[in-house]
Amino acid sequence: MKKEDLRIVYMGTPDFAVEALRQLVEGGYNVVGVITMPDKPAGRGHKVQYSPVKQYALEQNLPLLQPEKLKDEAFVEALRAWKADLQIVVAFRMLPEVVWNMPRLGTFNLHASLLPQYRGAAPINWAVINGDTETGITTFFLKHEIDTGEVIQQVRVPIADTDNVEVVHDKLMMLGGKLVVETVDDILNGTVKSIPQEEMAVAGELRSAPKIFKETCRIDWNQPVKKVYDFIRGLSPYPAAWTELINSEGEAVIMKVFESEKIHETHDLTPGTIVTDGKKYIKVALPDGFVSILSLQLPGKKRLKTDEFLRGFHLTNEFRMN
């Protein structure tokens, strides 16, 4: 079968999912339909925003479905009418069996980790938060339990100590697009030799990648320097690590922290104590040193470098982080 004859249905929602779809379309593959999340109001004006995948699908005049419920009979019938040979899922949601089992060649998913490591919703964040020096991308066939199907291909990617989640996300996104196309070609050529995840060698313990909530993002200043540094970059720029900045009267304001620097230095200060010259730097005490905050944001304000922030905010050593 030629790639022009293989009927592909593509499912995805965020930016991460656009690259693989773009590479398929520009590569001349036959994408007969796209499925993405329903439109949601976003921002202060609650304006309805299209998902990045929907925007791209509209620009390319690709047929589009946005089901509220994936078991809805009208949706299942509309999907069946597309007569897909193969379905591809990138950053979408859990599919019921009636959907993933529909095409004759199956459904495969692109996941942003080296499965079986980091099954779950936020694999890129957790790999950086945990200080990993390597991550990757995996294509695998879908089955009942989430992120557990047989692995088709993997690509390994180093994580530098200075990389934040945005840098790693963008690396994986570009490589992921390429890997999706290679996986489709292997399926077309009948050269896939998928491996059950239980048979794959894993170094160290298996870690999960649960969804991240606001409370997940709160900085614990009782952790070691390396842990706090990795935590900040693992949530930067989105959703962003945060802390409470508390003044001498005990009043608290939420502060998001985007960039930091490790300082290994002995001291006898309580964790969360602020050391600042009020002009150039803000250091926060941790049990084994300091983290120097390089960029931050207060509610309703824009993100600022520390020296810019200190020009407009009178910060003294009487403040602390909580």
Q: Is 113 annotated as a binding residue?
A: yes
3-state helix, strand, coil in the chain (%, to 5): 25, 30, 45
Cβ neighbours of 150 (radius 10 Å) = 20
Q: What pTM does this model have?
A: 0.94
CATH 3.40.50.170 domain span(s) along the chain = 7-199
pLDDT in tens for each of the 322 residues of the chain? 899 999 999 999 999 999 999 999 999 999 999 999 999 887 667 788 899 999 999 999 999 999 999 999 999 999 999 999 999 999 999 999 999 999 999 999 999 999 999 999 999 999 999 999 999 999 999 988 888 999 999 999 999 999 999 999 999 999 999 999 999 999 999 999 999 999 998 878 999 999 999 999 999 999 999 999 999 999 999 999 999 999 988 999 999 999 999 999 999 999 999 999 999 999 999 999 999 999 999 999 999 999 999 999 999 999 999 9
Q: Is 295 annotated as a binding residue?
A: no
* Topology (CATH level 3) of domain 214-321: Methionyl-tRNA Fmet Formyltransferase; Chain A, domain 2 (3.10.25)
Q: Is 236 annotated as a binding residue?
A: no
The Cα–Cα gap between 266 and 288 comes to 6
Q: Note the pLDDT of residue 301.
A: 95
What are the tokens at 107?
């459904």
Q: Is 110 annotated as a binding residue?
A: no
CATH 3.10.25.10 domain span(s) along the chain = 214-321
What number does CATH give the domain 7-199?
A: 3.40.50.170
Q: Note the pLDDT of residue 146.
A: 82
Cβ neighbours of 49 (radius 10 Å) = 13
Rounded to the nearest 10°, the torsion over CA 277, 281, 282, 284 is: -100
Strands (E), 43-168: 47-49, 64-65, 86-90, 107-111, 134-141, 151-158
Cβ neighbours of 192 (radius 10 Å) = 18
Q: Note the pLDDT of residue 264.
A: 95
Q: Note the pLDDT of residue 248.
A: 86
